[in-house]
């Protein structure tokens, strides 16, 4: 072997070692067939974060669920988007101040209305709330469902109900103070649960990077998405988003003081792909429409966290991107 050839081979080897992992190695990379991720189970179409919503969203065309978790007074992990139960249930107070037994008595579909745009507005006529009373036994559930599908669920119940469905789990605080210490404590409780179940078709995320880092340190086999600090370090400083990151989960825009930053762009998505990461966009702050969805698909995003999974599924079908084309992440 000539000296010149040895130098050339060494250079190629160095490039291969420095290269990011191939896109095929990351199962969350799906730009050709994007994930239809039902945010809160599709809160504009079904009652937020209920088993009924998750079942209906999957039947309507979603292929991944997004949910939020917090810890009760007695250290149980429940699925709820909000710090308090006031917006969606017939109860009051924070998740952290109540026991699981007390939360079980609530009607998690009490304030859900199909009338838009605010599907949880209080004070409408009782007829506007089609699922009110099912959880408490005052009304019969729809065929194929049971009353427990309309109460606050535990994360364990959701994992048992959907053993082969990819799930995105967001760690939140559940007191009004929402301290970083609480986020980290909740990450500890979640880690204790998830390291016993041996699933790998999950992504864990939190706005607080400390919670993401803590969870990853305890359960390194489950992929994470970065918090605000990790995402900002990657976006603004060109640094690492943190250990264990498999996907960015970010909005289209982000308010920083009086500035509006464009976060989901074709350039950022392409850079994430080059570095081996997936890109999932959530839309809570940017609104949803076929036009917005179409623009995201044109940017090559790998998934959309939508409050309208049924409508988004219809758009994917029109584009020939139905969820049945997916290669699923490994379950072990």
Scanning the structure block, which residue is given the tokens 């007191």?
175
pTM: 0.89
d(CA 149, CA 108): 9
Domains contained in the chain, CATH given: 30-86+153-322 (3.20.20.190)
Determine what percent of the chain is predicted with pLDDT higher than 90. Answer: 80
What's the rounded mean pLDDT across residues 13-37? Answer: 65
Scanning the structure block, which residue is given the tokens 């917090």?
70
**Each residue's pLDDT tens digit, 228-248:** 999 999 999 999 999 999 999
In this structure, is the dihedral angle defined by the CA atoms of residues 184, 256, 231 and 253, taken in order, positive or negative? positive
Residue of 185, 217, 223 whose CA lies nearest to 205: 223
Q: Which two tokens stand for residue 285?
A: 């702050």
Active site residues: 39, 81
**Each residue's pLDDT tens digit, 246-298:** 999 999 998 878 888 899 999 999 999 999 999 999 997 788 999 999 999 99
Q: What is the pLDDT of residue 10?
A: 40
């Amino acid at each position: 072997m000539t000296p010149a050839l040895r130098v050339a081979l060494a250079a190629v080897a160095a490039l291969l070692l420095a290269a990011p992992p191939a896109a095929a190695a990351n199962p969350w990379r799906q730009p050709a067939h994007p994930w239809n991720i039902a945010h809160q189970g599709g809160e504009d179409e079904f009652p937020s974060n209920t088993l009924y919503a998750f079942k209906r969203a999957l039947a309507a065309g979603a292929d991944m669920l997004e949910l939020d978790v917090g810890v009760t007074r007695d250290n149980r992990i429940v699925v709820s988007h909000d710090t308090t139960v006031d917006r969606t249930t017939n109860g009051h107070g924070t998740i952290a101040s109540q026991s699981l037994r007390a939360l079980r008595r609530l009607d998690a579909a009490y304030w859900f209305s199909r009338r838009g745009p605010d599907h949880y507005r209080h004070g409408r006529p009782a007829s506007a709330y089609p699922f009110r009373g099912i959880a408490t036994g005052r009304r019969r559930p729809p065929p194929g469902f049971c009353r427990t599908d309309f109460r606050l669920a535990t994360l364990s119940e959701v994992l048992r109900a959907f053993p082969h469905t990819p799930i995105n789990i967001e760690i939140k605080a559940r007191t009004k103070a929402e301290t970083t210490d609480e986020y980290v404590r909740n990450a500890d409780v979640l880690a204790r649960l998830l390291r016993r179940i041996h699933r790998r078709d999950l992504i864990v995320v939190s706005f607080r990077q400390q919670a993401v880092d803590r969870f990853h340190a305890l359960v390194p086999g489950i992929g994470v998405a970065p918090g605000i600090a990790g995402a900002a370090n990657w976006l603004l400083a060109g640094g690492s988003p943190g250990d264990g990151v498999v996907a960015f989960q970010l909005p289209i825009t982000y308010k920083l003081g009086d500035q509006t930053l464009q976060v989901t762009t074709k350039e950022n998505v392409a850079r994430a792909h080059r570095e081996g990461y997936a890109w999932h966009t959530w839309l809570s702050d940017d609104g949803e429409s076929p036009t917005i969805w179409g623009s995201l698909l044109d940017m090559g995003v790998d998934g959309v966290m939508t409050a309208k999974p049924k409508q988004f599924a219809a758009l994917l079908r029109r584009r020939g991107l139905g969820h049945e084309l997916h290669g699923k992440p490994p379950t072990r």
